[in-house]
Amino acid sequence: MTTHTPAPWHWHNLGDDWCIDGPDQITPIVAPDRKPTPADARLIAAAPDLLAALEAIITSLDKNTHFGAYQWINDKQTVAAFAQARAKIAKAKATQ
């Protein structure tokens, strides 16, 4: 498994292309079926921060549930949402 380019990522317009800047490189956004938009660039640039935030939420939840602090976790939708969050973290880190 390789790791992603570390944050921060920034987005900008470069001619006709939207690009993502990481600490070590600039990568154009390529979409095979349409021209990428600023919204695409913003979402991609936010990915490392979104992953870190989701990991922090899950870590906090895991620590606190051992002490019974979150009784509402028995709700089926909440349990499914946390399972989905863990699956998306694993997908992002290529561990699933």
pLDDT at position 1: 47
Q: What is the DSSP string of 55-69?
A: HHHHHHHHHHHTTT-
What does the alpha-carbon distance between residue 50 and residue 31 come to, in Å, rounded to a whole number? Answer: 21
3 state SS of 28: strand
What does the alpha-carbon distance between residue 58 and residue 48 come to, in Å, rounded to a whole number? Answer: 16
Q: What is the mean pLDDT of the chain?
A: 79
pLDDT at position 73: 64
Structure tokens that stand for 22 in this block: 């990481």
Q: How many CB atoms lie within 10 A of CB 17?
A: 15
pLDDT at position 55: 93
What residues of the chain score a pLDDT lower than 50? 1
pTM of the model: 0.73
What does the alpha-carbon distance between residue 93 and residue 96 come to, in Å, rounded to a whole number? Answer: 8
